Amino acid sequence: MNKFLENYLAVLMPVPFRLKMPDGESLVGQGEPQFTITLKKDIRKKDLLTSASLALGEAYMRGDLEVDRDLFQALDAFLGQMEKFTTDSRALRKLLHTPQTKKNQRAEVSSHYDIGNDFYQLWLDESMSYSCGYFKNQDDTLYQAQVNKVDHILEKLHLREGMTLLDIGCGWGFLLKRAVEKYKVKGYGITLSQEQYEKFRQTIREERLEDSLQVELMDYRDLEKSGLTFDRAVSVGMLEHVGRGKYEEFLRIVHSVLKPEGLFLLHYISALKEHPGDAFIRKYIFPGGTIPSLREIIGLLADYNFYTLDVESLRRHYSRTLLCWRENFLEHREEIERAKGLEFTRMWELYLASCAATFHNGVIDLHQILMSKGVNNRLPMVRTV
């Protein structure tokens, strides 16, 4: 029996479990085991010490590691201990610190979002919203939660007819489309995903929204030279792709295209403390992805004359959203496996389940920050949303 592995996993997992390996099995921890981990192949000590997340994640992807309990429940039992996961930042330097050039960041975004619209349609809701929902009621469906989330954002922006609204990282366009329908604004979206861009353009043409909506395949850094200005701006789930060291430039550019007294709502996955990122997520799911802390973003706003108006956490909403996505994913698992292969399918289920667990355990959070460019005394004095 690999005693190092047994002792290492005992440190990571605060609950008793049974460990089965080709050369034997043992009970790890005190009490009734909550699940059984079966390892068909040994995991090298060097790999665990380089990155526990990567070593365990790859073992699961390959089918070398199995658990006999629902994957989310098993992960939820110990992912609150992620600060104990070993990470050799020097050995992982190239993975954790990728170039922040336009060319490279476009390739990183494409590697995730251009997997195929047909793939995402299998497990997202009909709005094609790939971000945290907002469950106002216990019985809200995933679709209703996504409508709630968009309406929640739009209400915070205090939109009025004729205003212009910029969406940085607009995805498949649901937020802008709803803003146009509800508030009769002019919407302008940018994305780096070719598939999202083409699908949104198709929607605009089919629904004859050319007078109200426009989408461009554009890096946010090109906004400044566009000559455009906007009354309102929003960014949902895009800041995670900007990268540490570029947040100042991002905020400066938003400031440059926002009109005086304009409002900007920033919706992003956040962390309690600054961290270079998770090696497994970086390598297989979101290349280049970095989660900013709340304090580092809040701390930068004053430098760009942004006044913080409201901060809200939707952490538990994201955990529930991810569980809804995983349920949909599992309903189509056989179809996904036929199209993408077993290893891809196991990788994506692990991604969805582990993210749901990390949100549930407070390892990561989701914040919405509403800010104004300069002082805005025209807004209601009472919070209504």
pLDDT tens digits, one per residue of 31-67 = 999 999 999 998 999 999 999 999 999 999 999 999 9
| Rounded distance between C-alpha atoms, residue 237 and residue 245, angstroms | 18
Geometric angle at alpha carbon 319, from 247 and 335, rounded to 5°: 105
Question: Annotated catalytic sites, by residue?
Answer: 355
pTM (predicted TM-score): 0.96
Asked whether the predicted pLDDT for residue 385 surpasses 80, the reply is: no
Mean residue pLDDT of the chain comes to: 96
State phi, psi for 113 to the nearest 5 degrees: -85, -15
Cα 209 versus chain centre, distance: 29
Lowest mean pLDDT among 77-86, 207-216, 346-355: 77-86
| Rounded distance between C-alpha atoms, residue 135 and residue 151, angstroms | 12
Residue 366: pLDDT band with limits 50, 70, 90: very high
pLDDT tens digits, one per residue of 127-153 = 999 999 999 999 999 999 999 999 999
For 118, residues 6+ apart whose C-beta sits below 8 A from its C-beta are: none
Q: What per-residue confidence (pLDDT) applies to 237?
A: 96
Nearest Cα to Cα of residue 11 among 99, 83, 95: 83
Q: What per-residue confidence (pLDDT) applies to 23?
A: 86
Torsion angle of the four alpha carbons 91, 111, 275, 253, in this order, in degrees rounded to the nearest 10? 130
Location of structure tokens 């566009």:
226
Q: SS3 letters for 93-141?
A: HHHHCCCCCHHHHHHHHHHHHCCCHHHHHHHCCCCCCCCCCCCCCCCCC
Mean pLDDT of 110-123: 96
Tell me the two tokens of residue 219.
């890096």
Tell me the two tokens of residue 327.
């349920």
Asked whether the predicted pLDDT for residue 2 surpasses 90, the reply is: no
Quick check: 61 and 24 in contact, CB under 8 A? no
- Residue 214 parent element (H or E): strand 213-217
With 0-12 / 13-18 / 19 or more C-beta atoms within 10 angstroms meaning exposed / middle / buried, residue 146 is buried
Alpha-carbon torsion (122, 127, 133, 135), positive or negative:
negative
| Rounded distance between C-alpha atoms, residue 53 and residue 43, angstroms | 12
Geometric angle at alpha carbon 204, from 203 and 210, rounded to 5°: 170
